[in-house]
Amino acid sequence: MDIFEQFIDTKIIEIPLGGFIFNLILAAILSSFLSLFYTRYGHSLSNRKLFARNFVLLSVITTLVITIIKSSLALSLGLVGALSIVRFRAAIKDPEELVYLFLTIAVGLGLGADQALITTTALLMILAILRFRDFWTAKKGEEPNLYLNVSLARSEDADIQDIVAALKKHCSEINMKRFDETAENLEASFLVKYEDFEKLHQSKAELRRLSPSIEISFVDNKSSY
């Protein structure tokens, strides 16, 4: 009966304005820091700077929604009904992007529930763990050090097998991360590792011999070649 009475109770509890403003500002600060971290240390092949611009808005909106509905079961169920008719069709091509989006939402959830200290501490610890993981992986030398994007017209004689064979001649390590093929174009992304820059130039020349019109892009987290 108590739960039923809470459900039919439509009284809106007054939300302290000062605490609400503090949570919104803190959400913006933490999500801004998260966006800078993702832009600097993320591994996604997409435009990380452009993608990270959504973090602040997402966390602030989540904080607002949770603050409003947390005091009313009826509002919570109403939110579920409202969201059930909304479809988000934005394609998430990299699992890392989904992880950072979930982390941004978690920041908004925590601050909307007035758990500022726990939320801030958890975020800092998670980011510290990510940096330690990257440092440990780089120290062990297990990860390839460059992203390689290759694109060419489908009318060319070269195919994905030829590209991989050409790379294997000069790369000490190669992992395919993405492959897209249409009637007009072929595009592939790899994580590759070279022993020195001479091997990189030899690999580039080998790819050029496959097709003069091939588009080649070498990228790491800090610079491009």
Which of 72-76, 99-103, 104-108 is predicted least confidently? 72-76
User: Which residues, 6 or more positions from 214, have their beta carbon under 8 angstroms from its beta carbon?
Assistant: 150, 151, 152, 156, 158, 207, 208
Does residue 85 sit in helix, strand or coil? coil
Q: Where are the domains of the chain?
A: 2-140, 146-219
Please tell me the pTM assigned to this model: 0.58
What is the CATH T-level fold of the domain 146-219, as seen in this structure? Alpha-Beta Plaits (3.30.70)
Strand partners for 151: 187, 215
Element (H, E) at 193: strand 185-193
- Per-residue model confidence as pLDDT tens digits over 173-202: 888 888 888 877 888 888 888 877 788 888
Q: State residue 2's pLDDT score.
A: 62
Report residue 218 CA to chain centroid gap.
Answer: 20
Q: Which of 188, 148, 194, 189 is nearest to 171 (CA)?
A: 194
Please, what is the Cα angle at 78 between 62 and 113, to 5 degrees?
35
Q: Distance (Å, rounded) from C-alpha 111 to C-alpha 113?
A: 5
Q: Distance (Å, rounded) from C-alpha 107 to C-alpha 125?
A: 13
